[in-house]
């Protein structure tokens, strides 16, 4: 496949994953209570749907689905895991946007949840999404093997929790309030937690679902790590260049807030070079899975993520 075809195939797969995820999330967040639920309060459900449906490229779901597909796994197993991951991503945005946190009014070009609803509903809708993510993964509908479901729950919780995403947000907020900015190592650690952990989980989930060998799982994990770092740098570059439209949220706010980014630490050119190097790392890791051309769509994903910079 040449570069243009690869890009086209990637786009087709990305859009396909987004459509499938949207439909599955819509069904999961239906008004009907599941066995063991008493009722799904309408306004709370509406807020959960508001923050989950109708937005985003669904990069994380795409990575789950395509990583699982490397091993021939398709269908509900990957899609439900993808939805759970997306719920956790979306809840984190809702809570991060709160007045006590980043205090943002705009997200994906729409009012943030606490603006569209109210602060209490935003907090609870985040709690509801986070909780529901584990419900979705643990449900037998996700996979017939209970031990595999438990492994997915464990990996997801560990990626999303105090030693991962939640901890990363705590470190980021602490850095904003601190007198001295984070150094490069601290910035990389914070970003590996705040943004990286969920992206790594996406490909780890594919390895779990697909029954990857330890070598394949480790290679995919390295891919996810490089991809996550590239993703964060590209986001920081986009913010520094002030492209609000491409970001879907207000640009330029990192510098305003003295936020720790590699752009601030290294400058734009070095940040761009690092982003390219990470793409190479990502594609090299894919080669080590021994899965050959099946990994091409994931390699293209790394290039896509890095190309978010304008």
Looking at the Cβ atoms of 113 and 240, the one nearer to a second copy is: 113
- Do the beta carbons of residue 194 and residue 209 sit within 8 Å? no
- The separation between CA 236 and the C-alpha centre of its own chain, rounded to angstroms, equals 16
Q: Residue 215 CB, nearest distance to a second copy (Å)?
A: 18
Q: Residue 223 CB, nearest distance to a second copy (Å)?
A: 16
162 binds a second copy (CB under 8 A): yes
Binding-residue total with a second copy (CB under 8 A): 65
Binding to a second copy (CB under 8 A) within 40-69 occurs at 40-41, 43-45, 48
Looking at the Cβ atoms of 127 and 296, the one nearer to a second copy is: 127
DSSP 192: I
- The interface mask with a second copy, positions 170-189, x = CB under 8 A, is xx-xx--------------x
Residue of 124, 199, 203, 278 that binds a second copy (CB under 8 A): 124
Residue of 74, 145, 256, 276 that binds a second copy (CB under 8 A): 145
Exposure pattern of 248-284 as b/e (b: 16+ CB <10 Å)?
bbebeebeeeebbbbbbbbeeeebbebbeebbebbbe
Looking at the Cβ atoms of 16 and 181, the one nearer to a second copy is: 181
- Do the beta carbons of residue 224 and residue 159 sit within 8 Å? no
Pick the closest to residue 80 from 58, 64, 59, 63 (CA basis).
64
Looking at the Cβ atoms of 126 and 210, the one nearer to a second copy is: 126
Looking at the Cβ atoms of 77 and 295, the one nearer to a second copy is: 77
- C-alpha dihedral (9, 235, 202, 91), degrees to nearest 10: -120
Pick the closest to residue 50 from 100, 87, 102 (CA basis).
87
d(CA 197, CA 194): 7
Residues that bind a second copy (CB under 8 A): 33-41, 43-45, 48, 95, 98, 100-101, 118-121, 123-124, 126-128, 130-132, 134-135, 137-140, 145-151, 153-164, 166-167, 169-171, 173-174, 189, 192-193, 197
């Amino acid at each position: 496949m040449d570069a243009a075809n690869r890009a086209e195939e990637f786009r087709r797969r990305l859009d396909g994953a987004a459509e499938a995820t949207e439909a599955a999330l819509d069904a999961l967040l239906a008004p009907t209570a599941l066995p063991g639920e008493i009722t799904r309060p309408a306004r709370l459900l509406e807020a959960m749907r508001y923050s989950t449906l109708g937005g985003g490229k669904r990069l994380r779901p795409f990575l789950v689905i395509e990583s699982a597909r490397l091993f021939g796994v398709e269908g509900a197993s990957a899609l439900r895991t993808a939805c759970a991951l997306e719920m956790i991503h979306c809840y984190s945005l809702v809570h991060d946007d709160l007045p006590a946190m980043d205090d943002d009014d705009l997200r994906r070009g729409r009012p943030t949840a606490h603006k569209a609803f109210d602060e209490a509903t935003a907090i609870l809708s985040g709690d509801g999404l986070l909780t529901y993510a584990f419900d979705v993964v643990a449900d037998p509908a996700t996979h017939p093997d209970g031990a595999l479901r438990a492994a997915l729950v464990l990996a997801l919780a560990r990626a999303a929790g105090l030693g991962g995403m939640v901890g990363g947000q705590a470190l980021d907020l602490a850095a904003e309030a601190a007198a001295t900015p984070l150094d490069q190592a601290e910035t990389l650690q914070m970003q590996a937690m705040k943004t990286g952990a969920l992206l790594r989980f996406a490909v780890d989930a594919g390895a779990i679902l697909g029954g990857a060998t330890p070598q394949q799982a480790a290679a995919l994990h390295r891919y996810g790590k490089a991809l996550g770092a590239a993703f964060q740098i590209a986001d920081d570059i986009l913010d520094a260049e002030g492209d609000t439209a491409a970001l879907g949220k207000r640009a330029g706010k990192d510098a305003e807030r003295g936020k720790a980014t590699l752009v601030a630490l290294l400058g734009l050119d070095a940040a761009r070079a690092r982003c390219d190097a990470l793409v190479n790392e990502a594609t090299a890791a894919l080669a080590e899975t021994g899965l050959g051309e099946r990994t091409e769509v994931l390699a293209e994903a790394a290039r896509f993520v890095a190309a978010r910079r304008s």
